[in-house]
Amino acid sequence: MTDLHTLLDLVTDEVETPDLARTALAAARRRRTRRRGLVAGLAAGVAVAGVVVVPQLVGSDPDPERPTEQPTTGPAPTPSPDEPAPALPPIPADARHPAWDPATAAQLPDYPIESLPTVLALEGSRSAPGDRAEPLALSRTENDELLLQYGGRAWYGLRRPTDAGDLWDSALSRDGTRIAVAGEGGLYWCDAVEVCPSWSRVDVPRKVLEADSRITWTQDSSKVVVAAFRGAYEVDLDTGELSDLGFLGGGTAFDVAPDGHLVTRPPLSISVTEFEGTTPVQDGALAPELGKRTYLSAFADAVAVTRVTDDGDDGLVVLDRGDLSARAFLPIEGDVRGMVRRGELRPVQWLNKVTVLFSVLDPGTDTVHLVTWDTHLRGNLGHVASYPASYDVSLRDLYPA
Amino acid sequence: MDENGFTEWVAGHQRQLLRSAYLLTGDLHRAQDLVQEALVKVALRWSRLHDGNPTAYARTIIVRDNISWWRRHRDVPSPERADVASASSDPETALVVQRSLARLAPRQRAVLVLRHFDDLTERETAEVLGVTVGTVKSTNAAALARLREGAPELLDLIGESR
């Protein structure tokens, strides 16, 4: 006879742990200076009304800064343990492009984008821009310095909000006119065109902000979506008005297509769900196997998604937004599962109707590369720019490029 | 940030946290994701946590994120033989235990793991879950009763329940 403790000990006595400290530190650094762009902001006109908040299951929270509400679940289908797993559609052979080794990213042919430097790093002396042009990129360094990039000119260092504390995220609006930052001190925004002469603090409840909060701008630059694992809120920067978007919590990948539909994929979902406001608008077609977590970027009639499978047939896939069939698949070599889990491989945005911009980390050089993928032809790839992995780079929309 | 201090703390606690998370989820990959996420959150707050109780904070994140996950997906997995075999020196017994745990509601499972594996007191368990001590007591009793009714093979292994 034994007791329950001994039995539970026996169940786990051979559990082994990888080097979690190193991975956690790397992820924490990246979150502090997170590479931006996996999810573009909400498109103009998206009506994101409030969502019903279900009662909290577990009572008070260990951290007073954490939200007390639990987000609702979106209606995207997930496999039930009581139902047989449905057969997911395969990726057609003619959609498959040649496999690519991300270690070769730096050697790819250049894909120049007008005005965008090929190295997004602190180079030369900092100086004020010569005019009031709209910035192309915002970078946050490992020391939480905020740097603006104006089409090849030197970086310009911004003054941080004085009472912001540790910064958890920063983001340049899609049109390049505003900057928002979230941190221990709250949520702030400034006028990027005027080089942020002052910061405005938005009065939001503490529940809105967490250490893993991520900022996504609406396309009209009037609001941001602040999403964390525990939930998400749309915040009107001028009024502080909140809309609960709880269905974007739980690690749900999301983006907004040009038609205003909110394109979402919760972890483990066997579909990609689109919302008009908070109403699902498609018929729940099945997507090819995508894995637990995904990152996605939506465009007019397609969505680019990361894919991780049990058999290692992993990479980036472009799905038709109508029937979720696979239009193109870029197999990527290496530990794609780990890369996706750590956020090191992400579609960033669409440069035109057929070209996806994605970011990938080269762990050998600790450099992030921005790479283009021509999804129509034979999967041609091009190198746009690179930056240190410790930077969080947020690009304005570059379409059409 | 004192990265050395954080690394030392992780080295001393990561295995227990992962074992606990595995018992909570029955899925090694998800357990690792939960622990990884908790460690990242601890790292982000290390300057304020290192003088306090980062382990309690991490455990709380793991337990509550797991319950949140379950609420969204209702995807409590069936115990995988491969997971069980790689996690235990006695896979057959481990499979019985994991199948039994899978019959519990997530909060019942959490109370069972916190009380009987992590050896937390009723008060500590209540703090992790954000509930009262009374709720911990009643949940623990309900969990054991559910095991008694639905998983007698587990109680055969135990002999008696606490």
Residues B55-84: pLDDT tens digits?
Answer: 999 999 899 888 776 665 544 555 566 677
Which pLDDT value is given to residue A384? 93
A 115-134 residues inside an 8 A Cβ radius of B: none
Residue at A9 is within a domain: no
Give the list of residues 6+ apart from residue A159 with CB closer than 8 angstroms, or none.
A196
Q: What's the pLDDT score for residue B152?
A: 73
Distance CA A175, CA B10 (A): 42
Which residue in chain B is spatially nearest to A33 when comparing CA positions?
A: B44
| Minimum Cα–Cα distance from A340: chain B residue | B33
Res B73: pLDDT: 53
Q: For residue A20, give the nearest of B35, B57, B73 by CB distance.
A: B35
Kindly state the average pLDDT of the residues A2-19. Answer: 84
Asked if residue A57 is part of any domain, the answer here is no
How far is residue A37's CA from residue A85's CA, in Å, rounded to a whole number? 33
Percent helix / strand / coil, chain A, rounded to 5: 10, 30, 55
B4 interfacial to chain A (CB closer than 8 Å)? no
From the number of C-beta atoms within 10 Å of its C-beta (0-12, 13-18, 19+), residue A100 rates as buried
Nearest to A166 by CA among A140, A200, A137: A140
Does the pLDDT value for residue B21 go beyond 90?
yes
A17 or A124, higher pLDDT? A17
**Contact A85/B at CB under 8 A:** no
pLDDT of B79 reads 58
Tens digits of per-residue pLDDT, A369-401?
999 999 987 789 999 999 888 788 889 988 876
Tell me if residue B22 falls in helix, strand or coil.
Answer: helix
For B47, the enclosing helix (H) or strand (E) is helix B46-49
Residues in chain A, overall count = 401
Report the alpha-carbon distance of residue B19 to residue A17 in Å, rounded.
Answer: 9
**Segment A75-90 mean pLDDT:** 60
The count of domains in chain A is 1
| DSSP three-state, residue A214 | strand
Half-sphere exposure of A53 (CA within 13 A, CB side): 17
Q: What's residue A123's pLDDT? A: 61
A25 vs B3, B159, B160: nearest CB: B3
B14–chain A Cβ distance below 8 A for any pair: yes
Q: Is the pLDDT of residue A116 over 90?
A: no
Residue-level pLDDT at A36 = 34
What is the residue range of B114's domain? Answer: 3-158
CA distance B123 to chain A (A): 14
What pLDDT is stored for residue B136 in this prediction? 92
pLDDT of residue A279: 81
Inter-chain Cβ pairs, chain A and chain B, closer than 8 A: 182
- Most A CBs within 10 Å: which of B48, B73, B90, B113, as the mutation test of the A interface? B73
Residues of B in contact with A13 (CB under 8 A): 87-89
Question: What are A260-263's contacts with CB under 8 Å, separation 24+?
Answer: A260/A43, A260/A44, A260/A45, A260/A46, A261/A46, A261/A298, A262/A42, A262/A46, A262/A48, A263/A296, A263/A298, A263/A303, A263/A321
Would you call B56 and A58 a contact, using CB atoms and an 8 Å cutoff? no
CATH number at residue A248: 2.130.10
Q: What is the separation of C-alpha B136 from the centre of its chain, rounded to a whole number of angstroms?
A: 15
Environment class of B106 (CB within 10 Å of its CB; exposed 0-12, middle 13-18, buried 19+): buried
pLDDT higher than threshold 90 for residue A357: yes
Which tokens in the block code for residue A52?
A: 């019903």
Q: How close is the nearest chain A Cα to the Cα of B76, in Å?
A: 7
Tell me which of B84 and A337 has the higher pLDDT: A337
Stretch A142-147: mean pLDDT: 80
Q: Give the model confidence (pLDDT) of B84-138 as tens digits.
A: 777 888 888 888 888 888 888 888 899 999 999 999 999 999 989 888 899 999 9
CB atoms within 10 A of CB A171: 26
Q: Say if the Cβ atoms of B131 and A59 lie within 8 Å.
A: yes
CB A118 within 8 A of CB A105: no
Task: Write a three-state SS string for A6-70.
Answer: HHHHHHCCCCCCCCHHHHHHHHHHHHHCCCCCCCCCECCCCCCCCCCCECCCCCCCCCCCCCCCE
Chain A residues in contact with B154 by the CB 8 A cut-off are 7
What is the span of the domain harbouring residue A380? Answer: 21-52+71-79+88-395
* Closest by Cβ to A250, choosing from B19, B69, B116: B69
pLDDT at A62: 34
Average pLDDT score over chain A: 79
User: CB distance B112–A4 less than 8 Å?
Assistant: yes
A307, part of any domain: yes
3-state secondary structure of B8: helix
When pLDDT is cut at 50, 70 and 90, the band that residue A258 belongs to is: confident
Mean pLDDT of B7-19: 93
Residue tagged 């009024």 (tokens): A239
**Residue B161 CA, distance from chain mean position:** 19
* A13/B71 Cβ within 8 A: no
Q: What is the pLDDT of residue A74?
A: 42
Q: For residue A61, what pLDDT is reported?
A: 31
How many folded domains does chain B comprise? 1
**pLDDT tens readout for residues A24-80:** 887 777 666 543 333 332 222 222 322 222 222 222 233 333 333 333 334 445 544
- CATH value at residue B73: 1.20.140.160
Asked if residue A226 lies in contact with residue A208, where contact means CB atoms within 8 angstroms, the answer is yes
Q: What is the pLDDT of residue A260?
A: 76
Give B88: exposed, middle or buried? Use CB within 10 Å, 0-12, 13-18, 19+: buried
Strand partners, B81: none
- Round to whole Å and give the CA distance between A234 and A251: 16
pLDDT band at A236 (very low <50, low <70, confident <90, very high): very high
